[in-house]
Amino acid sequence: MEVENKSVKRKEQELDKDMEDLKKEIEELKKELENQKGEKEKLIGEYEKIKNYAINLKVDFENYKDIVQKEKIRIKKEAKESVIKQLLPIYKNFSIVMNNRENLDIFAQGLKWFINHLLKQLKILVLNLLTLTKMINLILLNMMLLRKLKLMR
């Protein structure tokens, strides 16, 4: 009986030790689970932040495209108006020249003046167009650079 008691006590001690080890292991697993929950929440927060950033970036890009499109339309309209304003006096003078067809000397001089004046105005228009194109390219480049700088913040 004494041997049995010692054996039972030894088994109880082993069970108690196993129980303590299991409790420690359970506590470690709980801590690990809490850490993983914290990491999960942190990752979810980062994901939401990146998702919102991507959405804002897409909206900003769509707005940028709209602004550029409106600016192109405005520039084309102003360019057309400018061309018409520059060519309208030439057209009026051409009408005057055409009304003087009876006198060939005056008609020839008027026609020569008209052609020279038209070529001069066309050169000016081409130079203005080239300058305008360069300005538009610079504006678009600046807008893109500003957009990149804004995104870097």
| pLDDT tens per residue, range 79-91 | 788 878 877 887 7
pLDDT of residue 150: 67
Task: Give tens-digit pLDDT for 101-122.
Answer: 777 777 778 778 878 888 888 8
Whether residue 90 contacts residue 120, with contact meaning beta carbons closer than 8 Å, is answered with no
Q: For residue 153, is pLDDT > 60? A: no
CA-CA distance, 85 to 101, in Å (whole number)? Answer: 26
Q: Residue 46 pLDDT more than 90?
A: yes
Six-digit token pair at 2?
């004494």
For residues 95 and 101, is the Cβ–Cβ distance under 8 A? no
Burial class (CB within 10 angstroms; exposed 0-12, middle 13-18, buried 19+) of 143: middle
The set of long-range contacts for 140-146, using a CB threshold of 8 Å and a minimum separation of 24, is: 140/68, 143/64, 143/67, 143/68
Give the mean model confidence (pLDDT) for residues 60-67.
86
Number of domains into which the chain is organized: 1
pLDDT confidence bin for 135, thresholds 50/70/90? confident
pTM, rounded to two decimals: 0.48
Mean pLDDT of the chain: 82
Place 136 in a pLDDT band, splitting at 50, 70 and 90. Answer: confident
Range of the domain at 68: 2-152
